[in-house]
Amino acid sequence: MDLGSHPTFESHDDGTVLTSAPQDAPVDRATAAARRVVDAMLRTDRANANLDRVAEELNSIADHLEEHAPAVAERLIDMWNGEGVTRHDPVTGPENAIAPPIVLEGLSDGSVRGEVTLTMPYQGPPGCVHGGVSALILDHVLGVANAWGGQAGMTAQLNVRYHRPTPLFEPLTVTGRQMSVEGRKINTVGSITTADGEVCVSVEGLFIDAAVPRPR
């Protein structure tokens, strides 16, 4: 996969931020507000008498955004214009309200690392992170670890082991590391651990180096 100018652990310093650094841009502020809305919607009293008005106001906001939306094909081109980091992905993207978003840094030992505290929108079992969310996060983190390692690819297999429930509302550490590259096959591992170092989820991924055409 063409990595463009994506930083690698051989070319960049320990602690290089590999995701889009938080910016004081209107789109970042609007997306952060949308994230708050998703979270607050899950927390608000189901009997909140103002929910009809909330629906009306949110639909009005959505109408406004859609009125100002270019064609999807144009947006896709725009999204893939930048080099190195993405701002729209569902794990680290500051422009994506679905993303927590996680900031990842590359370490000199070749691994990548980030911290995140997940809240209600990411719940699976009571008080715990949804297993699919953990897999989503780790798939992406392994993808970034591959780029930091110097050879990236598409996920062909992701084997996920859930060791213990992953708690919501507590700081979690997410890591990824490229272990080996054999031709087009890339083997990468990662984990989600609690602050006291207990492994909640570990993964082994097989990635295949494949050319994926960008929109333009």
Ligand X SMILES: CCCCCCCCCCCC(=O)SCCNC(=O)CCNC(=O)[C@H](O)C(C)(C)COP(=O)(O)OP(=O)(O)OC[C@H]1O[C@@H](n2cnc3c(N)ncnc32)[C@H](O)[C@@H]1OP(=O)(O)O
Binding site for ligand X (CB under 6 A): 3-4, 6, 139-140, 143-144, 147, 152, 154-157, 184-185, 206, 208, 210
How is residue 65 written in tokens?
A: 């955004």
CB of 192 to ligand X, least distance (A): 16
Task: Write out the DSSP string of the chain.
Answer: ---TT---TTTS-TTEE-SPPP---HHHHHHHHHHHHHHHHHHS-TT-TTHHHHHHHHHHHHHHHHHT---HHHHHHHHT-SSS--SSSTTT-TT-TT--PPPEEE-TTSEEEEEEE--GGGBSSTTBB-HHHHHHHHHHHHHHHHHHHT---EEEEEEEEE-SPPBSSSEEEEEEEEEEEETTEEEEEEEEEETT--EEEEEEEEEE--------
User: Considering beta carbons, is residue 122 or 207 the nearer one to ligand X?
Assistant: 207
CB of 54 to ligand X, least distance (A): 34
User: Considering beta carbons, is residue 129 or 149 the nearer one to ligand X?
Assistant: 149
CB of 173 to ligand X, least distance (A): 19
- Looking at beta carbons, which residue is closest to ligand X? 143
CB of 210 to ligand X, least distance (A): 4
User: Considering beta carbons, is residue 155 or 194 the nearer one to ligand X?
Assistant: 155
CB of 47 to ligand X, least distance (A): 40
User: Considering beta carbons, is residue 6 or 177 the nearer one to ligand X?
Assistant: 6
User: Considering beta carbons, is residue 6 or 87 the nearer one to ligand X?
Assistant: 6
